[in-house]
């Protein structure tokens, strides 16, 4: 799958430049294409059986009781906020280093965002960061109801500390695991537990965007072990409709003369959304899920190679800190660069990389600095988030990368830093 290939002529010679390496991209093979083609040739492009098959396979893969597929990870987060019945003076703790969707989902239901700082070396929220955010929220008169740990780059936030805090304060935990498909934590008994098993949380949300560990085009998933939360989310994902006779309130309208439920009948007890996943996406997801372990291994191999090859570039460039006890399904490889010591700003570094066909990205601009949130809550000082933002740069990482591609990224960075 060669992309970005360009042809040029120089001194009468015809040559092909190296392909452009984006910071992330999907891996699609013939099995994936065949899976989608089978749906295209069938009867159900949406609202068919493939979504249920994908949900059951994903739940089994991560070890959760329930998995509910939806349109994307933003939808997954929104559905979770709805399921928690948040009210306007309720607050949810969200680390500032995340994508906009994590905080926005809280605002979609009218609740308040209590922004937390992060470890400047890993970008991850710690227990102390959440506690500080809770104190600030309570000083505003908010009632903190939940915490959303964000598993940045594929590594997990401090789930032991955060789950203990949640138990002490009767808080819900919703994992933003958009980056962590395929990540495992080592549990107290030494056994590996998949992110999504919800052993230390109420809910977990995943993304299947093309740059993530596995892809469905767009798409998301919520996992939980709570039957009531699963039911609320499953109803909300499709307009709030239910066809379950046990849940009908108007039994006269629902029932035929025979005593059986009318076959067309449904009820909407609560307003919902159209956040359904299509069968096309689910078919691709099932095929991708069968390769997830291989995708994770390929990413880990590249991360290990980066760590070794970039070590001589310290202290100007250092990899983001690794979290003990986490076997990451790496979504991103983040380098922390001292741009001042290098004598080049980040835009210049990204430009030089691009000239050599190497893509890069910044994950993320701290959400608390966005104009909307500054107008809403005023200025907030979160030094860990600001330090992370000022130094971070995501390098190419995806299963289709070859070691030759990896070596090109390293060589370009080495020329930039060593001269």
The residues annotated with a catalytic role in the active site are: 212
* Residues 333 and 394: beta-carbon distance below 8 Å: yes
Q: How many CB atoms lie within 10 A of CB 109?
A: 18
Q: How many CB atoms lie within 10 A of CB 354?
A: 14
Query: How far from each other are the two terminal CA atoms of the chain, in whole angstroms?
Result: 32
Q: What is the dihedral of CA 392, 93, 175, 226, to 10 degrees?
A: 180
Minimal CA–CA distance to 275: which of 24, 27, 35, 105? 105
Minimal CA–CA distance to 405: which of 25, 10, 136, 61? 25
Rounded Cα distance between 135 and 308, Å, is 41
Rounded Cα distance between 96 and 179, Å, is 16
Q: How many CB atoms lie within 10 A of CB 386?
A: 18
Residues 6+ apart with CB under 8 A from 134: 93, 114, 144, 169
């Amino acid at each position: 799958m060669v992309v970005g290939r360009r042809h040029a002529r120089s001194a009468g010679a015809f040559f092909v430049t190296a392909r452009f390496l984006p910071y992330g991209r999907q891996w699609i093979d013939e099995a994936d294409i065949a899976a989608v083609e089978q749906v295209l040739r069938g009867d159900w492009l949406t609202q068919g059986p493939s979504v249920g098959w994908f949900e059951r396979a994903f739940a089994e893969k991560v070890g959760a009781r329930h998995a509910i597929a939806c349109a994307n990870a933003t939808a997954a987060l929104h559905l979770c906020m709805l399921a928690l019945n948040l009210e306007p003076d309720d607050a949810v703790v969200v680390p500032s280093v995340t994508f906009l969707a994590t905080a926005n989902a809280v605002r979609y239901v009218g609740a308040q965002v209590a922004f937390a700082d992060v470890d400047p070396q890993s970008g991850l929220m710690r227990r102390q960061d959440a506690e500080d955010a809770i104190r600030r929220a309570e000083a505003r008169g908010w009632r903190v109801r939940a915490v959303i740990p964000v598993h940045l780059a594929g590594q997990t936030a401090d789930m032991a500390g955060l789950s203990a805090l949640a138990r002490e304060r009767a808080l819900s935990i919703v994992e933003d695991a958009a980056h962590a498909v395929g990540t495992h934590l080592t549990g107290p008994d030494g056994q590996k537990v998949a992110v999504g098993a919800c052993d230390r949380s109420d809910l977990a949300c995943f993304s299947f965007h093309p740059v993530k560990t596995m892809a469905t085009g767009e798409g998301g998933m919520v996992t939980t072990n709570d039957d009531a939360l699963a039911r609320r989310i499953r109803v909300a994902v499709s307009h709030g409709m239910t066809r379950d006779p046990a849940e009908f309130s108007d039994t006269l309208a629902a029932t035929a003369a025979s005593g059986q439920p009318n076959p067309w009948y449904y009820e909407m007890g609560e307003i919902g959304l159209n956040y359904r996943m299509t069968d096309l996406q689910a078919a691709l997801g099932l095929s991708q899920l069968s390769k997830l372990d291989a995708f994770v291994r390929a990413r880990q191999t590249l991360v290990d190679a980066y760590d070794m090859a970039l070590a001589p570039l310290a202290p100007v460039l250092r990899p983001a800190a690794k979290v003990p006890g986490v076997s990451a399904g790496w979504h991103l490889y983040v380098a922390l660069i001292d741009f001042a010591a290098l004598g080049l700003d980040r835009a210049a570094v990204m430009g030089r990389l691009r000239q050599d066909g190497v893509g890069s990205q910044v994950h993320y601009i701290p959400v608390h600095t966005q104009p909307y949130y500054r107008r809403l809550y005023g200025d907030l000082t979160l030094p860990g988030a600001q330090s992370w933002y000022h130094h971070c740069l995501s390098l190419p990482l995806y299963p289709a990368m070859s070691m030759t591609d990896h070596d090109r990224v390293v060589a370009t960075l080495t020329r930039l830093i060593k001269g």
